[in-house]
Amino acid sequence: MSSTTRQPLWLRCEKKEFERRAALTPTTAKKLIDAGFDITVERDPQRIFDDEEYEKVGCKLVDNNTWPSAPTDIPIIGLKELPVSTDPLPHTHIQFAHCYKNQAGWAAVLTRFARGGGTLYDLEFLQDESGRRVAAFGFHAGFAGAAAAALALADRKTNSTSGPLAGLKLEPYNNEHEMVADVKEKLSKVKNADGSPFKPKALVIGALGRCGRGAVDLFRKIGLEEDDIFKWDLAETAKGGPFEEILQVDIFINCIYLSSSIPPFVTLDTIRAAGPNRRLSVIADVSCDTTNPFNPIPVYNVMTTFDAPTVEVEVGEGNPPLSVIAIDHLPTLLPREASEQFSGDLLPSLYQLPERKTARVWVEAEQLFKKKLADAVAYEAQSNK
């Protein structure tokens, strides 16, 4: 970067309800400023970091949600997708857009860039030389997803209700220690019929990846026996589902990265066929491919939220209840730690932002955007015929 040219970067607010994470933390913002960046930060009472934390390290604070009026040569960085709109997008956006795998509404999202002339650098597809994401929330997603599933299981067992878990709500924790202590305390109240401690069993698919390792780590920290944590990955799923083993544990965590059609892991037919002897009580679909046509858990079709974290599966009359958690921003249960880890991992790529027309990580991301954009334009044109 030229000593006279500073790279601008604008941290927008998050509009997704309950989202408290940030793509830039005060720590990473300070490092970027020291490297020659000018950082603008929108005020955001929802963010885990106070506005003053950014101001203290040299960021310029502006009003909430004012990025649409920012100069179009300033890249806009955020985490979750923008609110649904048809407004053209003339800026360069760095975010998770969730529109490259034919998710619901994918073409409508991308054609906003076509109409505005803007560019999307999707954070999910910023990759290193080996094709691995440069930054991901995977570990904290798995960790938080396992915690949410354990809380749902404790709620179900403690309240002995066959209906929706109406009383269960999730709120972000200040830190990992607080989360682990809360989950352990609630599970400790669950007893077997003879009064002995209840010992849950859990199965994690995708256990060797970042997300799966996070789920396994949570289960260990809340006291599950190692033999009661079943760690599956490609070798164990190679035979193809559905898998009866999933029905024989209390909690199933899906942590895979879905890129193509695969046989389902569990189906409504296998759930109903298991009858009253099914042990499975909670599914945490951390991968959250709810609207993906290849969703390997086709037993539900709606996303869930922090204030209503579960949806009930239609298990058939007389069968034990089964809840699904499908929250697409689980790491915000640990917003400060998850943000620091993600933003720190993203930092080396952000340092290259001024050279994004030649730096490999940005060049490849833009090439992918242009391909997906062309697909979206063609899809919209065909749909409008």
- As annotated, the active-site residues are 80, 98
* 73-107 as b/e: b if 16+ CB within 10 A: ebbbbbbbbbeeeeeebbbbbbbbbbbbbebeebb
Q: For 382, list phi and psi in degrees, rounded to 5.
A: -65, -40
**Beta strand pairing status for 311-312 and 60-62?**
unpaired
Q: For 111, list phi and psi in degrees, rounded to 5.
A: -70, -15
**Beta strand pairing status for 323-325 and 311-312?**
antiparallel
Residue type, 167: G
The alpha carbon torsion through 73, 76, 81, 87 (nearest 10 deg) reads: -40
Which pair of structure tokens corresponds to residue 45? 């009472």
Please name every residue paired with 38 in a beta bridge, in sequence order, or none if there are none: 8
Characterise 15 by phi-psi region: left (phi > 0), alpha (psi -120 to 50), beta (else).
alpha
**Beta strand pairing status for 76-77 and 7-11?**
parallel
